[in-house]
Amino acid sequence: MAERNSWSLGSALRGMFGRQTIDESTWDDLEDALLLADFGPVITDEILEELRGQVERFRTTDPRDLKRMLRETIEDRLAKFDPTLNLSARPAVTLVVGVNGVGKTTTIGKFARFLRNFGRTVVLGAADTFRAAAVEQLDTWAMRADVRIVRPQQYGQDPASVAYQTVEIAMREGIEMVILDTAGRLPTKAGLMDELTKIHRVVEKLTPVSEVLLVLDATTGQNGVSQAEAFIEHSGVTGLVITKLDGSAKGGFVLAVQERTGLPIKLIGTGESIDDLTGFTPHVFAEKLVGDA
Ligand SMILES: Nc1nc2c(ncn2[C@@H]2O[C@H](COP(=O)(O)OP(=O)(O)OP(=O)(O)O)[C@@H](O)[C@H]2O)c(=O)[nH]1
C-alpha cells in the first residue's frame, strides 16, 4: 500500500531494506531518503542517531528490524501532538486561513462534506469578499457538499460582517458547524492580519472560535511554512491542514512542520475530489510513509 503514495519512502528505502545486513551504506541511503523527503537536516540527524542507538542496543543487523524501528520512531514523534478537532461547541466555528493557492477553498468544500458524513449540519461563510472568483468557487463547493453558504451582499463588503452574519444564521437556525473562508492575500501583510483579527473579534461577540486552521501546501514543503509565518504569529492558529500530499514527494514535511511550528496537524488533503480529506492518524501515516512489511 505504501508504494501508491508519492510521499511514501517506499521506493527510496527498497534498496536498503532489500540488503542482507545493516552496514554503513544503509545509513547513507537512509540519510539521503530522509533529506529528500523534506524531514530537514536536524530531524534527519536526530532520527539517525536514535536508530543507530537502537540498532546497537538490540544488537541487530537485520534491515527489517531497522525498518520497524524507523516506523516506530516516526510514529512516536508524530504522536506528540494531538490531532483532535475541537468541535464540541454549538455552533463550532472554524476559521480557515493561509496564503493564496494552497488549497483553502477546496479544503473547506472537502471539510464540509467530511462533517456532513458525520451527520453534522454545516454553513459556509464567504469572508474572502474581495475576489468574485473566490466567492463563486466556494459556492460551487457548497453545492457539491450540499451545505448552505452565506455570500457577501456586495464585493468588498467587510469580511467580518459576512462572518458575523454566518454565525448569526447558524445560531438562529441551530446549524452545528460554521466554516469561514478568508482572504489569502491583501496588499499588505499588516492589512491581512488586521482583517483576520477583526473577523475573530467580531465572531467572538457571538460565540468563541473553536478552530483556526492554517492550510499548508505539501508540495512547497518547508519553504511554504516561511510564507505562512505571519499567520502562525498573529492569527491564533490551533491546527494545520496539509494539502496536496498526493502530488508531493515530501512526506517528511508532515513531521517537520509539526515540530517546527509546535502545531498539530488535524486534517490531510490527498486529492482534488470532495472525499479526498482525512483526519490525521500518526500510526496510519507512519505506516504508509515507511511501509508495514
Ligand atoms: N492534488 C491536489 N490538489 C489540491 C488539493 N487541495 C487543493 N488542490 C488544488 O489546488 C488548487 C488551489 O486550490 P484552492 O482551493 O483554489 O486554493 P485557495 O488557497 O483557496 O486559493 P485562493 O482562493 O486563490 O486563495 C486547485 O487547483 C485545487 O484543485 C489536494 O489535496 N490535492
Q: Is the CB of 113 under 6 A from ligand 1?
A: no
Residue nearest to atom 23 of ligand 1 (CA): 134
Which of 78, 103, 120 is the last residue in one of the domains? Answer: 78
CA distance 26 to 32: 10
Mean pLDDT of the 223-235 span: 86
Q: Verify that 58 and 181 share a domain, yes or no.
A: no
CA 194 to mean position of chain CA atoms: 24
Please check whether residue 197 is in contact with residue 234, taking contact to mean a CB–CB distance below 8 angstroms. yes
DSSP 147-168: -EEE--SSTT--HHHHHHHHHH
Residue nearest to atom 6 of ligand 1 (CA): 103
In this predicted structure, what is the pLDDT of residue 191? Answer: 86
Ligand 1 centre and the CA of 105: distance in Å?
7
Ligand 1 centre and the CA of 269: distance in Å?
10
DSSP 169-209: HHHHHT--EEEEEE-S--SSHHHHHHHHHHHHHHHTTTS-E
Q: Verify that 63 and 190 share a domain, yes or no.
A: no
Answer yes or no: is 138 within a domain. yes
CA distance 13 to 21: 14
pLDDT digits (tens, 9 = 90+) for 147-201: 999 999 888 899 999 999 999 999 999 999 999 999 887 667 788 889 999 999 9
Which of 78, 106, 136 is the last residue in one of the domains? Answer: 78
Q: Verify that 96 and 232 share a domain, yes or no.
A: yes
CA distance 161 to 139: 18
Q: Is the CB of 271 under 6 A from ligand 1?
A: yes
In this predicted structure, what is the pLDDT of residue 208? Answer: 98
pLDDT digits (tens, 9 = 90+) for 240-268: 999 999 988 888 999 999 999 999 999 99
Residue nearest to atom 10 of ligand 1 (CA): 103
Please check whether residue 126 is in contact with residue 245, taking contact to mean a CB–CB distance below 8 angstroms. no
Domain span at 135:
92-290
Q: Is the CB of 105 under 6 A from ligand 1?
A: yes
Nearest to 79 by CA among 268, 285, 217: 285
pTM of the shown model: 0.94
Answer yes or no: is 87 within a domain. no
Please check whether residue 207 is in contact with residue 91, taking contact to mean a CB–CB distance below 8 angstroms. yes
pLDDT digits (tens, 9 = 90+) for 70-83: 999 999 999 999 99
Q: Verify that 100 and 37 share a domain, yes or no.
A: no
In this predicted structure, what is the pLDDT of residue 1? Answer: 37
CATH of the domain at 252: 3.40.50.300
Ligand 1 centre and the CA of 271: distance in Å?
9
Between these two residues, 226 and 173, which has the higher pLDDT value?
173
Ligand 1 centre and the CA of 136: distance in Å?
14
Q: Is the CB of 247 under 6 A from ligand 1?
A: yes
CATH of the domain at 6: 1.20.120.140
